[in-house]
Amino acid sequence: MTVKIKNFPGTSLSEQDIADGKVFSLHDTMRADFGWDTGVAVGRYLAALKEGMILGARCRHCRKTVVPPRQVCEWCYRPMSDYVPLQDTGIVNTFSLCYVTWDVQRIKEPEIPAVIEIDGASPLHGILHKLGEIDPKEVRIGMRVKAVWKPTAERLGAITDILYFRPILEGQP
């Protein structure tokens, strides 16, 4: 019926219309604070991060090692039975050079988010984190990286206990 209709509803406003008070508007904010129970598997993952370790979980049934750990294997629906310490090294699966923050502020030096496949986990099993100590132009998929940890005393049991991952140069551990 779009052929038959000439005037579609919907009134477009500009920022200026609102600033000038041409139409009424009001602002509000929701205070929404949460304390999420970390539970068995993620609780353990955070505790391990505090110790400077990335923890995975292994499914004895389908023999996958996943990260972060979870209580049930989503592929065979068997309870995960073991925690497995993983390396704090891995491979860049993919990355971006991001010039805006989460609240859309422009930044000059890009943040470099990446999915990092963690050594010791099954292929393609990674975590989201950031890269650092690298020229953005030098980042490549397939690059080997290693976690840079916060000093022990400053760790909280959080994903941010890893500051970022840095490239592993030839011959370096």
Partner 1 sequence: MSKRKVAVVGAGMTRFVRRAQETGKELSWQAVRMALESCEMTMDDIEAVCLGTAPDAFDGVHMKGEYLSDGAGAWRKPYMRSYVGGGTGVFVPIQAWYHIASGLFDVCLVVAEEKMSSYYPHAQAAFLTIFDHTTERPLKPNLLWIFALEMNRYMHTYGISKADIAQVAVKNKRNAADHPCALLGDKNITVEDVLNSEVLAWPVNRLDVSPVTDGAVALVLAAEHVAKRITDKPVWIEGVGWSLDTAHWTNRDLAYPRYVEYAARMAYEMAGIKEPRKEIHIVEPYDPFDYKELHHLEGLLLADRGQAPQLVADGVTSRNGDMPVCPSGGLLGVGNPIAAAGLMKIAELFWQLRGEAGARQVPGHPKRGLAQAWGDLMQVGTVVIMGR
Partner 2 sequence: MNERVAIVGVGWAGFRSVTPEVSYKELMYAAAVRAYADAGVDPLRDIDSFVTVAEDFHEGTSIFDEYTPDQLGAVLKPMHTIAGDGLHGLAAAYMLVRTGQFSIVAVEGHSKASNILTLPEITAYAQDPVLNRPLRLNTHFIAGLEMNRYLYETGTSLEQCAAVTVKNRRNALDNPSAAYGADLTLAEVLDSQFLAWPLSRHQVSEHADGAIVMVLATEETARRLTDYPVWILGVGWCSDSPSLENRDWGQAVYARQAAGMAYRQAGIRSPQSAIDFAEVDDTYAYKELQSLEALGLVPAGSAGLLTEEGATQPDGELPVNVSGGSQGMGNLLDATGLARALEVVVQLRGEAGPRQLKEIQIGLAQSWRGVPTASGAVVILSN
Partner 3 sequence: MTLLERDPHAPPTWQGSVPVTNRYTFGLAGDRFFRAIKEQGRILGTHCNNCMHTYVPAATFCERCLNQLDDWIDVGTVGEIVTYTLLSVNYDGSSRTSPELVAFIRLGDGGLIHRIEEVNSEHVFIGMQVEAVFRPPAERQGSILDIAYFKPYP
The residues of the shown chain that bind partner 2, judged by CB under 8 A, are 26, 28, 30-43, 70-72, 74-77
Within 10 angstroms of residue 131's Cβ, the number of other Cβ atoms is 23
Here the tokens at position 108 are: 């000059």
| Contact criterion met (CB below 8 Å) for 41 and 80 | yes
CA-angle at 117, arms to 114 and 121, nearest 5°: 155
Q: What are phi and psi of 15, to 5 degrees?
A: -55, -35
Judged by DSSP in three states, 19 sits in: helix
Total binding residues toward partner 1, as defined by CB under 8 A: 57
Residue 104 or 169: which CB sits closer to partner 3? 104
Residue 3 or 26: which CB sits closer to partner 2? 26
Stretch that binds partner 1, among 14-22, 81-89, 143-151, 165-173 (CB under 8 A): 14-22
Q: DSSP letter for 166, please.
A: E
Which residue of 18, 47, 62, 72 would you call a contact of partner 1, by CB under 8 A?
A: 18
Under the criterion CB under 8 A, does residue 71 sit at the interface with partner 1? no
Here the tokens at position 154 are: 């400053």
Q: Contact positions toward partner 3, by CB under 8 A?
A: 11, 13, 18, 23-38, 40-41, 43-44, 46-47, 50-51, 57, 69, 71, 79-83, 103, 156-158
**Of 43, 41, 51, 42, nearest in space to 162 by CA:** 51
Binding site for partner 1 (CB under 8 A): 1-6, 8-15, 18, 23, 27-28, 30, 34, 36, 38, 42, 45-46, 66-68, 70, 74, 93-104, 110, 113-115, 124-130, 141, 158-160
